[in-house]
Amino acid sequence: MGFTKDGRRFRVEEGYLLLSRVHTDIDNPLIITHIMNIESHLFSYFLQHKNYEELLKEKLREIEILQAMLETSEYVVQAYNNIETFSKQVLDRLDQVLRMDGSLFYMLDKNAEKVEKLVISSMFLKNFREEDPKLLLAEVRANPNIFDTKNNLCFAKFEYGQYQVGVVGVRLKEPFDKGDLAFFKTISNQLFHVIRLMKIIEDLQNAQFSIKFLSEYDPLTMLYNRRTFERYLKDNIQIVSRTGSLLSMVLIDIDNFKLINDVYGHQTADMVLKELSERLKRSVRKMDIPARFGGDEFAVLLPYISKDTAHAIAQRLISKLSSEPLKIEDRNISLSVSAVVVSYPQDGTSAEELITYAEYLMREVKRKGKGIILSSGDIPHKFSVVKELERSLVESIEKSSVIPYYHEIIDLRRMSVFGFEVLMRIKFNGRILSTGEFVDVAERLGVMPKLDLLLMEKVFESYKFFGNQYNIFIFINMVPDNATVEFAEKVRALADKYSAPISNIVFEITERKAIEDIMQVADFVRELKNECFRFAIDDFGSGYSSFYYLKYLPT
């Protein structure tokens, strides 16, 4: 407080200057006191008003922050767990509150160095149409700080697991201050935590979708798998049974597909399956249901189609699938297919009956050659016989009713019994079946190993009746499919159980079958020879380099 040279008064408080000019006698103490009181009131009013505006501005900013945070929570509900929708809403609101000219959100997979998600605000699209957002991301990623303001740029980035997520804000003119950065960090942090939860939910949903997809579709051909086809077949049977309508099914099998695998390799064989499935999709009606039924088998469900019409459709499908070679990379691969037709209710009244009958017909087709076979003539009778035989085989296992037949082996020099070859027999419809009459069905059912073990158990159990003093050898036919470590352990256990003289047990391996997997059979032979079992080659010299294979089979 003081006077200037021209008689004006000045007063300084809290950095502010009050300048006054008095047009009267300033020597009067009362007047000076009065002036000072007025100055004090003026300063007090001014400072209170100024502090109020700053306080109001600060409180408004706090309200904006709270409002933005509350709106962020609302956006989660509105976005229905969609990360792109949610982050876009937050970015637009952030632009408005911070008076930014644009912003963006990104999610980066650090392992793959790939931006999985990139969301741009409405203002960014408006003001930076010609800008490449990836250049902006590169600048942010190159900055070692997790949040910063630089060159009219404001960003915050966070990391969890293999991901880095970040929010970037841009202003064209006005730079960001510390308050802006604090607000930016607060909203970005909340955005990050919500998106992390959204990402977890998204990953779970994707995993559930993948599980559902794999349970319904074949991933190679993108056709329905067998399980889904069977479900649709059951559903359609229920529908047509109520309406009295017809329904047919075509089963398609690629001829000699194993040869394609062997010649061209599995990768090319897979491409053949994919290309063939595409042809199949293009060749059926929209209401038809094509599926991959197995390795090289396809099926087509034909709702409301009679057997005769289905037969014509099957002929057309075979023509479409095999008339032109498949173009696989630089190769033209020709193939042929076989097909069979079954219909509801003539050939079965359930999905299981129709499928079983179709598979049986396909085996009949493969025996006869190629083409289409219908369920006519003696086929239904043969099918019922096969089904009955299947039941008999299962019962033979359950009741241990396998019958060993002993065929004498004579030593001509001594004219005495050298041993016995054991042959498997089973009872069926009042007669005894030889192995050749049921082995195909048993192998298809996968019960041959169980039948072989039952036969061996009966042989080991009855060996005592031959009399060990005669040194009788027992020859048992061995299927190479049983040449596994697990099977060998079961044989050893049975021999121990009945104290069978292991050195007198001889397993006969058919040469033609053994060479199909010579190394596996050789390992199996060595495994049991170490236990003193003996081995022999059956049908020796029947068309292969027999002496050459003796090197690998230590018989």
DSSP class of residue 348 equals -
- Give the domain CATH number at 175: 3.30.450.40
Task: Give the domain extent around 349.
Answer: 226-376
Taking the whole predicted model, whether its pTM rises above 0.75 is answered as no
Looking at this protein, which amino acid is placed at residue 500? Answer: A
Q: Which helix (H) or strand (E) holds 444?
A: helix 435-445
Structural domain contains residue 386: no
pLDDT of residue 162: 86
Structural domain contains residue 70: no
253: helix, strand or coil: strand
Whether residue 13 is found in the same domain as residue 121: no
CA angle 281, 286, 287 (to 5 degrees): 120
pLDDT of residue 332: 85
Whether residue 253 is found in the same domain as residue 133: no
What is the token pair recorded at 483? 């040449």
What is the token pair recorded at 510? 């058919």
pLDDT of residue 28: 62
pLDDT of residue 119: 92
pLDDT of residue 111: 86
Q: Residue 491, Cα to own-chain centre: how many angstroms?
A: 39
Whether residue 210 is found in the same domain as residue 231: no
63, with CB counted inside 10 A (0-12, 13-18, 19+), is: exposed
In 255-362, beta strands by DSSP E: 289-292, 297-303, 326-328, 331-333, 337-344
Whether residue 538 is found in the same domain as residue 399: yes
Structural domain contains residue 418: yes
- Give the domain CATH number at 404: 3.20.20.450
Whether residue 531 is found in the same domain as residue 503: yes
Whether residue 190 is found in the same domain as residue 256: no
| Residue finishing a domain among 190, 214, 238 | 214
Residue 48: CB atoms within 10 Å: 10
Nearest CA among 415, 336, 342 for reference residue 373: 342
Structural domain contains residue 60: no
CA-CA distance, 122 to 124, in Å (whole number)?
Answer: 5
Whether residue 87 is found in the same domain as residue 32: no
pLDDT of residue 48: 60
Whether residue 542 is found in the same domain as residue 400: yes
| Residue finishing a domain among 37, 53, 69 | 53
Give the chain's length.
555
CA-CA distance, 492 to 267, in Å (whole number)?
Answer: 41
- Which residues are 410's β-sheet partners? 417
pLDDT of residue 543: 47
pLDDT of residue 229: 94
Cβ-based neighbours of 89, under 8 Å, separated by 6 or more: 71, 75, 78, 79
Cβ-based neighbours of 352, under 8 Å, separated by 6 or more: none
Structural domain contains residue 111: yes
CA angle 324, 325, 326 (to 5 degrees): 120
Whether residue 403 is found in the same domain as residue 368: no
What is the token pair recorded at 429? 């419809």
- Give the domain CATH number at 313: 3.30.70.270
Cβ-based neighbours of 117, under 8 Å, separated by 6 or more: 83, 84, 87, 105, 106, 107
Whether residue 189 is found in the same domain as residue 292: no
How many domains is the chain partitioned into structurally? 4
Structural domain contains residue 93: yes
Where do the H-state alpha helices sit in 80-177? 83-98, 122-127, 133-142
Longest dimension (CA), the chain: 163
pLDDT in tens, the chain (555 residues): 555 545 566 566 666 666 666 555 556 666 666 667 666 666 666 666 655 566 556 555 555 655 555 555 555 445 456 788 888 888 888 888 888 999 999 999 888 888 888 999 999 999 998 888 888 888 888 888 998 888 788 999 988 888 899 999 999 888 888 888 888 888 888 888 888 888 877 777 777 777 777 788 888 889 999 999 999 999 999 999 888 889 999 999 998 888 888 888 888 889 999 999 999 999 998 999 999 998 899 999 999 998 889 988 988 998 888 888 888 888 888 888 889 999 988 888 889 888 888 888 888 788 777 766 665 444 555 566 566 666 766 676 666 677 888 888 888 888 888 888 888 887 776 677 777 667 777 777 777 788 888 888 888 888 766 655 557 788 888 776 777 777 778 888 888 888 888 788 888 876 545 445 566 677 777 777 777 778 777 655 444 444 445 555 555
Whether residue 404 is found in the same domain as residue 533: yes
pLDDT of residue 97: 83
Whether residue 408 is found in the same domain as residue 497: yes
CA-CA distance, 86 to 73, in Å (whole number)?
Answer: 10
| Residue finishing a domain among 376, 405, 434 | 376
Helix axes 435-445, 448-462, angle to 10 degrees: 130
DSSP class of residue 213 equals H
Structural domain contains residue 68: no
Structural domain contains residue 554: no
Looking at this protein, which amino acid is placed at residue 28? Answer: N
Q: Residue 235, Cα to own-chain centre: how many angstroms?
A: 25
